[in-house]
Structures are given as structure tokens and as C-alpha cells.
Structure 1
């Protein structure tokens, strides 16, 4: 069985911002409210449950996610997980905590609890295509808590997030194919 991704799609969008009523120019406030959205999807030759288990295993992130130096599950009741992730790259270290609503083998919805963001939401969807194939979709919307944090950490964070789907695909190959 070939373990390489079947297809990969990547999109990075910025919301258009809201125009002031009756004005042809954006207000300074709306320019600052532009929120990056990162969206990735991949078709893989692993089951939806296998990919879900890798993504939901926060404590293993430091073993394979670039820039991740720690992950900890703070609470988990089977449906909701409170987890923190420590990121360090290029001399910048940040920790953020999310509350994740999980549907085993199907989805993980992320909501910011604490960290260097004003706003952070996202999701992982795992769609079974066959017994040994699925579509993995990842989307993240975020806004840093201040423009200073965004300038210092923005590029590093965007690089880390855009590489996540690839890192999970490679991890699946290592874990499930023994390679």
C-alpha cells in the first residue's frame, strides 16, 4: 500500500473586512479585523479513525509537529478536551489552550481558551472514503491579541499551521506503515 497523500489542497485567505456605511474606504478598525483563515485538505490511504486518533493525541505533538515543544491534555470527558500546546521557533515561545469538541473518528472543533490570540477557532473533519482511505480537512481562523504579537509571532505561527496536515500525513505513514 502506498502511504503518500493522494491529493493535497491548501488555501490561505484573509477576510475582506467591513466597510463603513456609505464610505468607499475601509476604516482603520476594519483593516485590523482582517482575520487569516488557513484551510488545508488531503486524501490519505488511512482510515478516518486512524487520522482522528493522531490529531487527537495532543501529548504526542512534540514528537513530530515542527515547532511544537509540548502538548498536554488538561481535561477530557470523552466529548470535550481542554488541551494546551507549547510552540517555540526562531527564539519565540508561546503557549495556547483550546477547548475541543470531539466526535470520535469524525471531527474535532477547536475554540480558544487562552493564549496570544484575540480569536482562534477551527476544525478538523475526517471523512471516510473507504476502509483504508479518508479525506482530512483542517481549517483555522485566528486573530492575534495585538498587532505587536502578530508582528512577532504571526509568520512563525502561519508557517507551523500550514505544515500541520503534511506533518500528520507523515506521522500516519510512520505509525501505521512502520516507515
Structure 2
């Protein structure tokens, strides 16, 4: 059951980062492996969305419910697809200097023990690439802040078959 926790500081506000993460419909524009999205329902507080994730000839569709608590928290719970379960959370806190701290966590399990074992070998690197992609998207949308990204990044990964 892979788990990943990461904290980053970015030169953008909690509101800006909340808006970026909550804009699931645009994920295919900047997230690696996301090839398509479909928003089934969307309100200020909740969204149900499908993500089609692809790598080479493999394509899988994941349906998730996204709970939005502006501007401090986004929680994602898995509804349907190839996983056994998935839960991830984003927490955004303004730093009082125009930037914010982001805490990101994800916990999931594959239905297949073999696939979980294989994925565990690249899991941490793939999640770092994903969080780097959110940061690069923020730079593209909001312009790199003068302070730049202040490398207060920490993470831990856990993989148990």
C-alpha cells in the first residue's frame, strides 16, 4: 500500500493553488500520464470526475469524488477504477508573505499485488514528477514569484506489499 506525504512552499497564495488543484478539467494539459478528463458533476463544495491515465498502450479510467473546502483543503476519494482504494489530500496555508505552504498526501492500494509491487518501485519518483508538474503549472499561470520556490520540501514514502 503506497503512501506519500510531501510539504512544499510556493510563492503563490493558498487561493491560487486551491484554484489550480481544483481545476481537474485541465489536468490533461499539464499532468504526466493524464490523457483525458471528464467532469460528471461540479459544485462549489464537491465534484465527481473521471481521469483517463495512460502510459504507452495502457489506459485506465479512475472516477473520484473531490471535496473542496476553499481555500484550505481538497480531499479526493476514489469511487471506481482499477485500484482497491485511493485517498489524497491537499492542504494550503498562506505564509503571510504572499506565498503558501502545501501539504500533499496520497494513500492507495492496487487490486493486483503484482502490479502494486511493480508500481512501488517507481511510485515515489512518479509522485514527485506529478507535484513538480503542479508547481510548473502555477509558474505558467501566475508567473514565477520573486522568491522562487523555497525548497522546504520533505517527503516520505512507504510501500508494503
Match of 1:163, SS state, is: helix
Residue 162 of structure 1: how far off its partner (Å): 2.9
Alignment-derived partner of residue 129 in structure 1: 95
Alignment-derived partner of residue 166 in structure 1: 132
Structure 1, 88-97 or 52-61: larger mean CA deviation: 88-97
Match of 2:134, SS state, is: helix
Alignment-derived partner of residue 111 in structure 2: 145
Alignment-derived partner of residue 28 in structure 2: 62
CA contact (8 A) 2:2 2:123 kept: no
The aligned runs of 1:16-27 (5 Å cut-off) are none
| Contiguous gaps of at least 5 residues in structure 1 | 1-34
Residue 155 of structure 1: how far off its partner (Å): 5.3
Match of 2:44, SS state, is: coil
Residue 154 of structure 1: how far off its partner (Å): 5.5
Equivalent residue for 1:93, pick from 36, 55, 59: 59
Root-mean-square deviation (CA, aligned residues, Å) is: 2.0
CA contact (8 A) 1:67 1:160 kept: no
Residue 39 of structure 1: how far off its partner (Å): 1.2
Higher relative contact order (CA 8 A, sep 6+): 2
Larger gyration radius, structure 1 or structure 2 = 1
Instruction: Provide TM-score, normalisation by structure 2.
Output: 0.80
CA contact (8 A) 2:2 2:120 kept: no
Instruction: Provide TM-score, normalisation by structure 1.
Output: 0.73
Distance in 1 (CA, whole Å) between partners of 2:123 and 2:83 is: 11
The aligned length equals 144
